[in-house]
């Protein structure tokens, strides 16, 4: 349904939670190297529980490789510097929900990439740096899925 794209994720627990998110929503998870962990990491395995075999997870060596696999599609880059609130987007099947590394978010050159359809933000109280990566992805995926009638789900 939707594709979650993590650019250089650093924290294994966040990616483990995203694996679980992908499994329970029917989304795909795409990861762009370098990864801050390996797939044998105990924290990744623990966060993903037994969902690893139920999720579609693809690792790409570069962002160009990821875009080659995912496009054509709309790509929504989630950033605290976003122009559009996430709930104002009309999401559709196949959209890419794109997130940056936990410590710094998406770099300026990635946000300026012409393959990015829009820069999107989640509302936060002023003077707060960021929201947890897995939580951000969950908010975005569930809003996109809600807009599409929770296709494929038992509601």
Assess if residue 155 is contained within a domain. Answer: no
Domain count, the chain: 1
Mean pLDDT of all residues belonging to the chain:
92
Q: What is the distance between the alpha carbons of residues 123 and 42, in angstroms, rounded to a whole number?
A: 32
Q: What is the distance between the alpha carbons of residues 151 and 148, in angstroms, rounded to a whole number?
A: 6
Assign 127 a pLDDT band (cuts: 50, 70, 90): confident
Residue whose entry in the numeric block shows the structure tokens 């978010």? 105
Assess if residue 131 is contained within a domain. Answer: yes
pLDDT of residue 77: 98
The domain in which residue 11 lies consists of: 3-147
pLDDT of residue 8: 97
Residue 1 pLDDT more than 60? yes
Assess if residue 56 is contained within a domain. Answer: yes
Q: What is the distance between the alpha carbons of residues 52 and 130, in angstroms, rounded to a whole number?
A: 27
Residue 70 pLDDT more than 80? yes
Residue with the larger pLDDT of the pair 130 and 105: 105
CA 107 from chain centre, in angstroms, equals: 15
Assign 41 a pLDDT band (cuts: 50, 70, 90): low
pLDDT of residue 51: 72
Assign 104 a pLDDT band (cuts: 50, 70, 90): very high
CATH number at residue 63: 3.40.1280.10
Assess if residue 154 is contained within a domain. Answer: no
pLDDT of residue 114: 98
């Amino acid at each position: 349904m939707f594709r979650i794209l993590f650019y250089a994720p650093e924290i294994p627990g966040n990616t483990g939670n995203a694996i679980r998110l992908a499994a329970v929503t029917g989304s795909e998870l795409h990861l762009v190297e370098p990864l801050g962990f390996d797939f044998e990491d105990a924290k990744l395995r623990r966060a993903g529980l037994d969902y690893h075999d139920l999720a579609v997870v693809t690792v790409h060596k570069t962002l160009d490789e990821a875009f080659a696999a995912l496009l054509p599609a709309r790509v929504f880059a989630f950033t605290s510097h976003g122009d559009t609130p996430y709930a104002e987007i009309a999401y559709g099947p196949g959209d890419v929900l794109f997130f940056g590394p936990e410590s710094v978010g998406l770099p300026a050159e990635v946000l300026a990439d012409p393959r990015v359809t829009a820069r999107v933000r989640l509302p936060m109280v002023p003077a707060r740096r960021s929201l947890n990566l897995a939580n951000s992805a969950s908010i975005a995926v569930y809003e996109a899925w809600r807009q599409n009638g929770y296709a494929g789900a038992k509601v």
